[in-house]
Structures are given as structure tokens and as C-alpha cells.
Amino acid sequence: MSRPAAIVFDQASVAYGRVPALEQVHGTVHQGEIVALVGPNGAGKSTLIKALLGLVPVASGSISVLGRPPALARRQVAYVPQADTLDPDFPVSVAQVVLMGRYRRIGWLRPPGRADRDAAAEALAAVGLAHRAADRFGTLSGGQRQRVLLARAIAAQPAALLLDEPFNGVDAVSQEALLATIRALAAGGAAVVVSTHDLGLAQLTCDGICLLNRHQFGFGPPGEVLTPDLLRAAYGGAALELGDRGLIVARS
Amino acid sequence: MILFSSLGDGYVWRALLEVVIVGVLCGAVGVHVVLRRLSFLTMALTHATFPGVVIATMLGLGLVLGAGLFGVLLVAVVAALTGPRGAEHGRETSSVTAVVLSGGFALGMALMSTQEGFSRDLTAFLVGSVLTVQPSDLVVSAVTTAVVLGVLAALRKELHLAAFDPGAFAAAGYPARRLDLVLLLALEATVVTSLPAVGTIMAVALIVGPAATARLWCSRTATMTAMAIVVGVAAGVIGLAVSEQWNVAAGGAIVLSVAAFFVASLVLQSLPWGEPVAAAVARRKSAGRPTYSG
Ligand SMILES: Nc1ncnc2c1ncn2[C@@H]1O[C@H](COP(=O)(O)OP(=O)(O)OP(=O)(O)O)[C@@H](O)[C@H]1O
Ligand SMILES: [Mg+2]
């Protein structure tokens, strides 16, 4: 695949204040690719996503998003947080949440227009929740809320999509619906970075894997990165085994 | 009712106008306070504005002007102390707020104790004195309300997103801190403006109460805002009527009617049929039209 690069990490280190959280990340996410960030708790997956959003500074090396420093690319980047971090009692409808994806495009002071409403309705239909448009956001299930947040990101028509553990607590059917939507967006040319703890899912559905634990253990096609040696190194020894038919996660 | 029969007196008209204006302002601002869980911060602002009143009196400045200037200073201090919101380095807000609250109030009391003659005037600013509202106060209230409502309406998209999902708001590259500051200034302007009617201490009830009541019934921010304004105005008018009828302090009567609205809503919703009624109201409001409005 020789598509243009969308996100380029060049020996990037990310630090909170003076404490380095993540070092030596090096690799490229091309347009239309889905790359998974995997690694144990505290590995730095969320940190890397925050760095891609320009919310945590790059201490050394560089990160470029769509050819620019992360903080300057934010208008073309959509971020999907974990749905369970949001207040379920907030008085906002599903349709309004999706429309929020358009706000940056609409700009200050102007109200949403016809095109914005259409884009929001289309995005909601794409995640299969058009019939819930008028319901309050908090009345949806966890998996449905996650799909609404994905719809909000799609409505923004981003060139890059960043998702932080979108599959947590989501059942297999909703997971499939989320994945199908993410794939469609990637097929349209967006670069997708998704953090997950589900190695099987990452292996089966992603074009690339970035294996992290405070520094990078591998960045490349699943077959090259999700190897027993690299996984053991990243997860600290004994936790994981690979079988020949796909991935088997086991304790030894 | 004595309220209506005494409308011939100018001061009752002015009081009525004042509670309506303040009810609208507090209702609208309160929605943001409740949605962002800033009730405690609001309480701190109301208390810490108090020394501003005392200083203004000592210097012979206009009270509202003095309190307003002090309030702006206060907002700057709070913003500086709490640090960047959302960023993990920000200090824990509620302890900062608590210190500001008690420190400001203590400063006011200390200053007041040095000025013997003033104590009577100043209690009016602790508990309010709506019946002595002057035409100039009305002008200040009306202008502040127009400006604050204008700002809230102009920024409603951004305020809504920032309240609902601060993480996504910052990630989208919005200037989250500056928006917080605008909201804080609007809040302080509201506190200062409601001083003549209900006083520093009870202003918090008039800001938080109507919005908290509306939140119990509404599933959209727009309807919640409308209902908060209605409750704010209704509580003001009812409180004033009660105060004229039975000769009780107007500020207290207004705050008591706010509390009555809130408690009544809580009780209604906890009755066996309360939930279905609230749900039906919500459903009817949203039925039919997929509301893609901001
Ligand atoms: N705001 C912060 N200030 C300082 N250190 C932080 C901050 N946030 C995270 N860290 C540190 O950075 C490291 C990486 O954290 P991060 O949240 O990126 O991990 P993660 O891979 O997302 O983990 P998880 O799987 O648990 O979500 C952790 O050691 C954590 O202690
Ligand atoms: Mg994380």
C-alpha cells in the first residue's frame, strides 16, 4: 500500500511535565489504514492518542498529523472518547450529540444549517441508530452510546479518526456494527488509530499494530508485531501465547 | 392580594420588575451552573463577593460597581488557582473553592467589624432588600441581563458541547479555558446583579434552584432553560406577593418559594406516578420531530 502518509511518528517521546510516559515511537499510519494501539494498562495508549490531539506535548522527536503539528490539525481530526465517561443524565438528545460533530465546521456564533442536520442524520443512520434520534442520550445502552459517539465523529467528516478503547463493555453485535462503520470510514480514505485491549480483534481487523509499553515494541503488520516474543516482551513475560489458528491468549 | 393593590406605589413596581429581570437572568445562567456542576463554586463566588460590597461602602463607591470590580478580581483569582480545567495538572477544585469561600467571607466580616455604623446597610446586601431597589439598580440589572443572555445565546453550541463532553471539546481545539472564563464572568455578573434583590448569600439559591428544578423535568437543554427561567420569575413574583401580604422579608420569601418549587418537584417525581408523568412529558416534547437543533 503506497497511499499518502496521514500520521507520522518520528522517534517521538511524550512526557507529562518532566516524567516521560512514552518513548521512541516510530512509524507511519497511511490514509485508509486502521492501526491498533495495544499494550498493558499504563502502557501509554491513551497518552499517545492525547499526543495526536496535541493535548500532551511531544518531548523529543516529532509527531505529524496530516502534515502538520498535532495541535494545528485538530479541525480535521475526530476523537471518540469512551461513552462511559459522559454524564448519562445530561439533557441532550441523540440527534444533538451527533450534530455536535459539526460544530467546529459551523464555527462560532452561527447556528447549524440544513447541510449539518443532513450530515448528522446520515452519520446516525450509518451506525444504525436513526430511529433513536429523538431519545435522550442517556437512555441508550452503553454500546449504543458508543455508536452515537462514533456517529458524531463521522459527522465531522474527519481525515483522521482517533478512538480510545471504543470496544470496552460493548457486546459482539455492537462491536461488529462499530467495526463496520470504522472500516467504511477508512475505505473513504481516513486514517484510523484505535486503542484496544482485545488482541484478537486487533489482529483480525487492523492493517497495522503499534505495540507499546512505555516505549515501542513493534509497529507494523499484525503478523510481524503480534509475535510471541514481542508480546512477551511488552506484556512482561508469561501472559500470552499465540496458536497457529489466530490468536490464543492464555496464562502460563 | 396586597401585591396588586399596592402596585400604585412606585417601589412595588420596581421590586416586581427587578425580581422578573433577576429571575430570567438567574434561571438562564443557572442552567449552565447545574449542567457543569458548579453549584459549589457559585456559592463560593456569592460569599466571596461580600467583601467587595464592604470595601465599596468604605470607599464610597457604588455598591454594585464595587462588588462588580471585586468580583472580576475574584474570578481571576479562582481561575488562576484552579489551573487549566480538564488538564490533569489542575488542582482539585472543590478545596480551592472552599478556601476562597470562607476566606472571602471572613475578609468581609473583618472589614465590617472595623466600620461600626455600616452594619445595618450591609445586612441588606447579605439577605437582600428588593423593596428599596432604585431605578439605577433596575437599569444595571436590565443591561447585565441583556448582555449575559446575549453571550449565552451566542455561545450556546460551544457551551453545550463543553458542558456535555469537555474532553471532546478540548480535543476539537476549542479554547476551553477562555470559554470557562467567559462563563465565570457571566456567573459573577449574575451574582452581583442579584445582590439588591436577594443578597449575596441567597443569590446562590436563585441561580441553582430554578435550574435544578427544571433539570428534574426536562430532557433537553432548551426546554430546561425555558423552564428554569419560568420558575425563576415565578418564584420571584410569588415571593414578593407573600412578602407584601404577610410582611415577611422579600429575599427570604423569594428563596423559600424557589425551595418550594424544587421540593415539590422532587416529591412529585418520587410518587409512584411521578416517573411515568415525567417520562410522558419528555416523550411528548420530543415526539415526532427528531430535534437536530443546537
Ligand atoms: N495526567 C498524567 N500525568 C502524569 N502521568 C500520567 C498522566 N496520565 C497518564 N500518566 C502516566 O502515563 C502512563 C501511560 O498512561 P496511559 O493512560 O496512556 O496508559 P494506557 O495505555 O492508556 O492504559 P490503560 O490500558 O489502562 O488505559 C501511565 O504510567 C500513567 O501513570
Ligand atoms: Mg487508556
Is the CB of B11 inside 8 Å of chain A's CB atoms?
no
**Would the CA dihedral through B167, B169, B173, B176 be positive or negative?**
negative
Q: What residues of chain A lie within 8 A of the CB of B221, using their CB?
A: 91-92
C-alpha cell at B14: 420596581
Taking CA–CA distances from A54, the nearest residue in chain B reads: B171
Taking CA–CA distances from A103, the nearest residue in chain B reads: B157
Radius of gyration of chain B (CA): 19
Q: Is the Cβ pair A79, B172 closer than 8 Å? A: yes
In this prediction, residue A196 has a pLDDT band, given cuts at 50, 70 and 90, of: very high
Q: Which residue has the least CA distance to atom 17 on ligand 1?
A: A46
- The average pLDDT across A111-138 equals 93
Is the CB of B224 inside 8 Å of chain A's CB atoms?
yes
Percentage of the residues of chain A whose pLDDT score is greater than 90: 68
Q: Does the beta carbon of A64 lie inside 6 Å of ligand 1?
A: no
**Would the CA dihedral through B271, B274, B276, B277 be positive or negative?**
positive
Which of A119-133, A223-237, A238-252 shows the lowest mean pLDDT across its residues? A238-252
Distance from CA of A53 to the nearest CA of B (A): 6
ipTM of the complex model: 0.88
In this prediction, residue B72 has a pLDDT band, given cuts at 50, 70 and 90, of: confident
Evaluate whether B131 touches B16 at the Cβ level (below 8 Å): no
Is the CB of A105 inside 8 Å of chain B's CB atoms?
no
- The average pLDDT across A194-200 equals 92
Phi and psi torsions of B32, nearest 5°: -70, -35
Q: Rounded to an integer, what distance in angstroms lies between the CA atom of residue B50 and that of residue B105?
A: 6
> Is B294 a residue whose pLDDT tops 50?
no
**Whole-prediction pTM:** 0.86
pLDDT, tens digit, 9 for 90 and up, residues B115-154? 766 655 667 767 778 888 888 889 989 999 999 999 999 9
Q: Which residues contact B248 (CB under 8 A, 6 or more apart)?
A: B242
pLDDT, tens digit, 9 for 90 and up, residues A52-67? 999 999 999 999 999 9
Percentage of the residues of chain A whose pLDDT score is greater than 70: 93
In this prediction, residue B162 has a pLDDT band, given cuts at 50, 70 and 90, of: very high
pLDDT at B122: 65
pLDDT, tens digit, 9 for 90 and up, residues B185-219? 899 899 888 877 778 767 888 999 999 999 999 99
Name the residue among A71, A99, A134 with its Cβ closest to that of B286. Answer: A134
In this prediction, residue A238 has a pLDDT band, given cuts at 50, 70 and 90, of: low
